[in-house]
Amino acid sequence: MTVKVGVIGTGMIGQDHIRRLTEVLTGSSVVAVSDINKEQVEKIATAIGARTYTDGVALINDSEVDAVVVTSWGPTHEEYVLAAIAAGKPVFCEKPLATTQEACLRIIDAEVKHGKRLVQVGFMRRFDTAYRQMKDVVESGTIGAPLIFKSVHRNPSVPPSYTSDMAIVDTAVHDIDTARWLLDEEVKAVSVIAARKNNRGGTLRDPIIVLMEMESGAIVDIEVSVNIDYAYDIGGEISGETGVVTLAERNRITVKSGGEYRGKVTADWKERFVEAFDVEFKEWLDAAAKGTATGPSAWDGYAAAVVTDAGVEAAGTGNRIKVEMRDRPALYA
Ligand code: NAP
């Protein structure tokens, strides 16, 4: 079956997902695109032979559209995800699911009322081969019960519009979701400590450590450095009761010469996670073809919002902030 997809938001990642759906994967065709930028959307639609909309809700209600991808600006996500649920159509929503906890809960309530999963949230690390192998090791019991997860998230630089809170809400959010998924438990409390400032980042609070206490008592320590210059570098290590599992370096080759050895570090997140994005969309299409969704759920989007809110409060006040979440509905068991 070919899944006929409508894409709302044709900016940077929207265009990348359209390329993925039209040039990389089989089993889908992008039949409609929507953006408030009329000129941009028409150019993209012409290139792929899709219909254009300036109103995302009209795209969702197009009877030709089987499933929806939301890659517009974060504050628009709630409206489009709710409209997709109302239309009974599977929807892939880039993170954030919505920009407030309350909005995430409205989406959860709508999906629970609908009675089956339709929403997948764009936490692509869950589809990365190395992280999946790490999770397999944890679940196999090889390293015993996890005690500490150290996650490293380093960006070479960020644009001038990047704020200190974005280090938690936009950057650490991926590590937060990865921690919940790898350790298979919720976060109990969050603290944030800032290191001596990296002066390359001007007034930004950078780098920081986001310290999370998990329900089991395991600790998660996330380094977020967003002006570290040398490369985009992602690291992860879980210490368990009887062993350790570590993400290996990504380079395919190392070069030895002049008494040294060298390898490559990825330049940016697109390069580091390109295969993960492809797998993420392949699995989304497989589920969408059956009229449902798998992968990171609306519950995961809500949990991310609650934990990042706690992180922003912890960074602003210097306090340890308890994480309070609603009970998880059976749909997300
Ligand atoms: P972007 O380049 O600014 O693209 C957003 C696009 O949506 C722009 O073309 C914008 O138009 C358009 N838009 C705004 N309001 C709209 C509306 N009401 N209806 C339709 N289109 C609308 O941003 P981006 O970097 O692609 O990010 C988009 C989303 O993906 C964000 O939520 C971001 O957090 C997420 N993202 C996730 C990852 C990841 O690692 N998973 C990576 C990057 C981005 P204008 O430019 O005219 O406002």
Q: What integer best gives the mean pLDDT of the chain? A: 97
Is residue 331 in a domain? Answer: no
Is residue 333 in a domain? Answer: no
Looking at residue 86, its pLDDT comes to 98
DSSP-derived pairing of the beta strands 3-8 and 28-34: parallel
Q: Is pLDDT of 144 > 90?
A: yes
Residues 98 and 150 grouped into a single domain: no
Looking at residue 318, its pLDDT comes to 98
Residues 136 and 253 grouped into a single domain: yes
pLDDT tens, residue by residue, 37-80: 999 999 999 999 999 999 999 999 999 999 999 999 999 999 99
Pocket test for ligand 1, best of 37, 52, 73 (most atoms within 8 A of CB): 73
Is residue 166 in a domain? Answer: yes
Is residue 218 in a domain? Answer: yes
pLDDT band at 210 (very low <50, low <70, confident <90, very high): very high
Q: How many CA atoms lie within 13 A of 226 on its CB side?
A: 24
Looking at residue 245, its pLDDT comes to 98
Kindly report the protein residue whose alpha carbon is nearest to atom 41 of ligand 1: 122
109-126 as b/e: b if 16+ CB within 10 A: ebbbeeeebbbbbbbbbb
Find the 15 Cα to ligand 1 centroid distance in Å: 10
CATH of the domain at 252: 3.30.360.10
Where in the sequence is the domain holding 252, given as residue range(s)?
129-265
pLDDT tens, residue by residue, 151-170: 999 999 999 999 999 999 99
Is residue 316 in a domain? Answer: no
Residues 138 and 256 grouped into a single domain: yes
Residues 248 and 174 grouped into a single domain: yes
Find the 272 Cα to ligand 1 centroid distance in Å: 20
Distance between CA atoms of 94 and 18, rounded to whole angstroms? Answer: 13
pTM of the model: 0.96
Distance between CA atoms of 199 and 190, rounded to whole angstroms? Answer: 26
Across the range 91-116, mean pLDDT stands at 98
Residues 195 and 291 grouped into a single domain: no
Looking at residue 30, its pLDDT comes to 98
pLDDT tens, residue by residue, 239-283: 999 999 999 998 889 999 999 999 999 999 999 999 999 999 999
Q: Is pLDDT of 331 > 90?
A: yes
Kindly report the protein residue whose alpha carbon is nearest to atom 20 of ligand 1: 35
Residues 162 and 217 grouped into a single domain: yes
Find the 273 Cα to ligand 1 centroid distance in Å: 18
DSSP label of 199: G
CATH of the domain at 75: 3.40.50.720
Domain count, the chain: 2
Of 243, 265, 287, which closes a domain?
A: 265
Residues 221 and 235 grouped into a single domain: yes
Residues 98 and 136 grouped into a single domain: no
Q: Is pLDDT of 298 > 90?
A: yes
Residues 190 and 111 grouped into a single domain: no
Q: Is pLDDT of 201 > 90?
A: no
Of 265, 284, 315, which closes a domain?
A: 265
pLDDT tens, residue by residue, 212-225: 999 999 999 999 99
Looking at residue 252, its pLDDT comes to 84
Residues 27 and 138 grouped into a single domain: no
**Angle at which helices 298-317 and 173-183 cross, to 10°:** 120
Q: Which structure tokens are listed for 188? A: 């109990």
Is residue 328 in a domain? Answer: no
Residues 141 and 235 grouped into a single domain: yes
Q: Is pLDDT of 8 > 90?
A: yes
Across the range 292-320, mean pLDDT stands at 98
Residues 181 and 218 grouped into a single domain: yes
Looking at residue 1, its pLDDT comes to 86
| Ligand 1 pocket, Cβ-based, cut-off 6 angstroms | 8-14, 34-37, 56, 71-74, 76, 94-95, 122, 124, 269
**Angle at which helices 12-19 and 274-288 cross, to 10°:** 70
Distance between CA atoms of 291 and 168, rounded to whole angstroms? Answer: 33
Q: Is the dihedral of CA 322, 326, 332, 333 positive or negative?
A: positive
Pocket test for ligand 1, best of 8, 13, 40 (most atoms within 8 A of CB): 13
Is residue 281 in a domain? Answer: yes
Looking at residue 22, its pLDDT comes to 98
Across the range 223-235, mean pLDDT stands at 97
Q: How many CA atoms lie within 13 A of 82 on its CB side?
A: 13
Is residue 231 in a domain? Answer: yes
